[in-house]
Amino acid sequence: MGNSFGKLFSISTWGESHGPGVGVIIDGCPPRLPITAEEIQVELDRRRPGQSDIVTPRKEEDRVEILSGIFEGKTTGTPIALMVKNGDQRPGAYDEMREKFRPSHADFTYQAKFGFRDHRGGGRSSARETVGRVAAGAIAKKILALSGAGGNRGVEIRAFLTQVHDIVAPAEALVNFPTLAEVEATAVRCPHLPTAAAMIERIKAVRSEGDSVGGVIECRVRGVPAGLGVPVFDRLEADLAKAMLSLPATKGFEIGSGFAGARLRGSEHNDAFENRAGQVRTVTNRSGGVQGGISNGEEIVFRVAFKPTATILQSQATVDIHGEATELMGRGRHDPCVVPRAVPIVEAMAALVLVDHWLRQSAQCGTFEF
């Protein structure tokens, strides 16, 4: 409890930054889904460090191993266990962290909570834990991709950067649903190329100063049928918000109009309904695809704010586990901006939420006909 997510399509992750490995169990996956290690690997490779010159040069091969639940290329309906072994460890590289609390990291709070911690690379609090999420998310994405029976294209999830530091992509440049190729075209995963170029420049600049920057990811989902989400607590946006705020370094979530919506009048904000091609649709989409906690068939649109990477290559004031004032000099191989690598993680979490709610909707509203 605390390390599991999802009610019907449920994942449980395990593993620390510098233990033998990290992994995930998926419980509740529908049977007979065709899935291969290679398909999972594709998503892990998108998350992996060392993909470009603006991310950490740490080498993590991150090969997924399937330990259970998939037989002869198809899911069996029993728990799927996936593991990625850790590698490229540098014993001793983290000795200083045994005693000193890194500012804005989880060192102090883990110590305060558990009275004991695996200090190596942040232990369990390391973003390496998200390997399991991405692996499970790859399976969820495959389910969603295949969900579109009869000519439908299935559900597509596309996350991308709209902001790094104070560089913001112009809204009018992001009207269309970006293609995967557009997102993956640059190392920052912003589909607007001029903005992407500026972002890359900024990241290189702050890195050269031993500093870091944050940013914002937007995620859009199309093809979701109306009806997903369970009022009153498990609203679709509530579960998406939880999913996103459960990611390391996130500080905010907004859906549809978000915080800007607070500045509008009702007459400006309401999404009028219309009949479009025989379907009830909204003319605008300030709701972000969710009304009353339930998907309405429009594009789901949400944004997630990431703080700047806490690890900086500068000297910082802190205290040690004895309460003594000290200084800590950041070292090692860290991302000056984690946001580009968070793109597949955001997509994975969105996929997990959607599959879970799809199963829930099917159970409650699709099992019995009266």
Using CB under 8 A as the binding rule, whether residue 369 contacts its own copies is answered as: yes
> Looking only at residues 137 through 166 of this chain, which bind its own copies when binding is defined by CB under 8 A?
143, 146-147, 149, 163, 165-166
Listing DSSP states for 270-283 in one string gives ---EEEETTEEEES
Min dist CB 319 to its own copies, Å, is 5
CA 204, CA 244: separation in Å to the nearest integer? 27
- Letter string b/e over residues 6-37, b meaning 16 or more CB atoms within 10 A of that residue's CB: bebbbbbbbbbbbbebbbbbbbbbeeebebee
Using CB under 8 A as the binding rule, whether residue 200 contacts its own copies is answered as: no
Q: Which of 51, 108, 197, 299 binds its own copies (CB under 8 A)?
A: 108
Q: Which of 15, 178, 191, 344 binds its own copies (CB under 8 A)?
A: 15
Q: Which of 64, 80, 188, 350 binds its own copies (CB under 8 A)?
A: 80
Which distant-in-sequence residues (6+ apart) come within 8 Å of 83 by Cβ?
21, 22, 23, 64, 65, 67
Residue whose CB is less far from its own copies, 44 or 345 = 345
Q: Which of 90, 153, 251, 331 binds its own copies (CB under 8 A)?
A: 251
Using CB under 8 A as the binding rule, whether residue 103 contacts its own copies is answered as: yes
Both structure tokens of 72: 């002869």
Using CB under 8 A as the binding rule, whether residue 77 contacts its own copies is answered as: yes
Contact between 303 and 316 (Cβ < 8 Å): no
Chain center to CA of 279: 31
Using CB under 8 A as the binding rule, whether residue 297 contacts its own copies is answered as: yes
CA 296, CA 282: separation in Å to the nearest integer? 9
Using CB under 8 A as the binding rule, whether residue 359 contacts its own copies is answered as: yes
Using CB under 8 A as the binding rule, whether residue 131 contacts its own copies is answered as: no
Residue whose CB is less far from its own copies, 181 or 365 = 365
Contact between 96 and 332 (Cβ < 8 Å): no
Min dist CB 171 to its own copies, Å, is 15
Q: Which of 25, 131, 155, 203 binds its own copies (CB under 8 A)?
A: 25
Residue whose CB is less far from its own copies, 50 or 77 = 77
CA 222, CA 271: separation in Å to the nearest integer? 18
Q: Is 213 left (phi over 0), alpha (psi -120 to 50) or beta?
A: beta
Total residues binding its own copies (CB under 8 A):
164
Q: Which of 137, 178, 223, 229 binds its own copies (CB under 8 A)?
A: 229
- Torsional sign, CA 340, 342, 348, 353: negative
Q: Which of 101, 159, 169, 342 binds its own copies (CB under 8 A)?
A: 101
Listing DSSP states for 133-184 in one string gives HHHHHHHHHHHHHT---TT----EEEEEEEEETTEE--GGGG-S---HHHHH
Q: Which of 39, 45, 234, 299 binds its own copies (CB under 8 A)?
A: 234
> Looking only at residues 30 through 59 of this chain, which bind its own copies when binding is defined by CB under 8 A?
30-34
Element (H, E) at 302: strand 300-306
Q: Which of 36, 61, 152, 259 binds its own copies (CB under 8 A)?
A: 259
Grouping H, G, I as helix, E, B as strand and the rest as coil, residue 70 is strand
Convert residues 166-195 into a mask of x (bound to its own copies by CB under 8 A) and - (unbound).
x-----------------------------
Using CB under 8 A as the binding rule, whether residue 1 contacts its own copies is answered as: yes
Chain center to CA of 339: 10
CA 64, CA 82: separation in Å to the nearest integer? 7
Using CB under 8 A as the binding rule, whether residue 267 contacts its own copies is answered as: yes
Segment interacting with its own copies (CB under 8 A) among 50-58, 179-187, 193-201, 276-284: 276-284
